[in-house]
Amino acid sequence: MNRPVYMDYHATTPVDPAVLDDMLPYFRERFGNASSRSHSFGWQAEEGVETARQRIGRLIHSDAREIVFTSGATESNNLAIKGVVDFYRDRGNHVITAATEHKAVLDALKALAKRQLAEVTVLPVDRDGHVDPEAVRRAITPKTVLVSLMMANNEIGTIHPAEEIGRITRERGVLFHTDAAQAVGKVPIDVERMGIDLLSMTAHKLYGPKGIGALYVRSRNPRVRLAPQNEGGGQERGLRSGTLNVPGIVGIGAACELAGRVMEEEAIKLRSLRSRLHERLVEAIDQVTLNGHPTDRLAGNLSLSFAHVEGESLLMALSEDVALSSGSACTSATLEPSHVLRAIGVSDDLAHATIRFGLGRYTSEEEVDFVAERVATEVRRLRRLSPLYGVRPSITR
């Protein structure tokens, strides 16, 4: 067993060897610019790009022509949200989202609100992290142009009822965008059945390369229009100008094709490993709280709060043996408690005592058992140093 054991698969994943094999020729012999239409080097690059579109389309049940390549989910989120608000400003400027969204969504909306370009309603979630579809229905006004709600939460793993929300937005004639960065390749997605109009994704969460993502943009029933957020050579139907990252695009396509084949079997394996880890930790130490929905969650996600333990101290104590995080990698530098944990009612003390375990494709039973033992050992050690442990009841939600 290699150390440190990697259990931060929600932050990023290693590139799968099969994905890398597909990418390598596009760094070397097929190095052409996909916009070069006058020779074979360009044709080969373009063929790689179009194959990737088809592979992504099959995974999410869309037409390949509805896939727009970006640098990642953050850019996809910004293009979807700002592009809709800009293009449909004559129809309205109201956007609905939820308190547990990724900062790429919340900060994009905050920037629009600050410039008075959008009115934003941020819906609460329940203790498990679910947004109530009926709350979405009640929040829609004649000025609403977009509902933006993530498919699966990056910190607590809770999966939103996307299909029910999609039915509501379709009934009310409002566009539905979902940040599916954590969900693509891990849970079944059908943009037609779910009524999704815009979907953001990124390769590095599903064993593809970093720096490449995609945005699904519905082309009919209804046709979604976006205002481009950068100008240039008119690539990607003018929605996202810039020379295409052909090796990265080939990589995200290969990762999606592979995910489509192994997703069901992988989810079964990860649920089993997650349950094994959770059970061993609960058996070994007391006052452990699960965050997020107990079953309606990503198969590889386990968010636990350890009362009377400082999370950062626990991470540091484990850092040579186990790679873990306290939450989103995008906000790990801040000392503020997680906005996701606050939104589901976790106290600041307990939020600071939370660890996110991210299990993935290469996680083994041996690693799970090793991590459970190391975490339990360090929690007990840190609690012996705490003047509060054993003195007063555990802080709970």
Dist CA 166 CA 108 (whole Å): 22
Query: Kind and range of the H or E element at 77?
Result: helix 73-87
Dist CA 30 CA 313 (whole Å): 48
The DSSP symbol for 25 reads G
For residue 213, the SS3 value is strand
Dist CA 289 CA 397 (whole Å): 9
Dist CA 139 CA 147 (whole Å): 10
Quick one: tokens of 362?
Answer: 């290469």
Can the peptide bond before residue 4 be classed as cis, meaning omega within 30 degrees of 0?
A: yes
For residue 159, the SS3 value is strand
Give the residue from 49, 83, 44 showing the smallest Cα distance to 64. 49
Answer left, alpha or beta for residue 156, where phi above 0 means left and psi between -120 and 50 means alpha.
alpha
Dist CA 360 CA 13 (whole Å): 8
Quick one: tokens of 351?
Answer: 């939020």
Whether 330 is catalytic is yes
- From residue 22, give the alpha-carbon distance in Å to each of 40, 49, 65, 93, 224: 19, 12, 21, 43, 32
Dist CA 88 CA 144 (whole Å): 10
Q: What string of DSSP letters covers 95-156?
A: EEEETTS-HHHHHHHHHHHHTTS-EEEEE---TTSPPPHHHHHHH--TTEEEEE--SB-TTT
**Which one of 139, 330, 332, 373 is the catalytic residue?**
330
Active site residues: 330
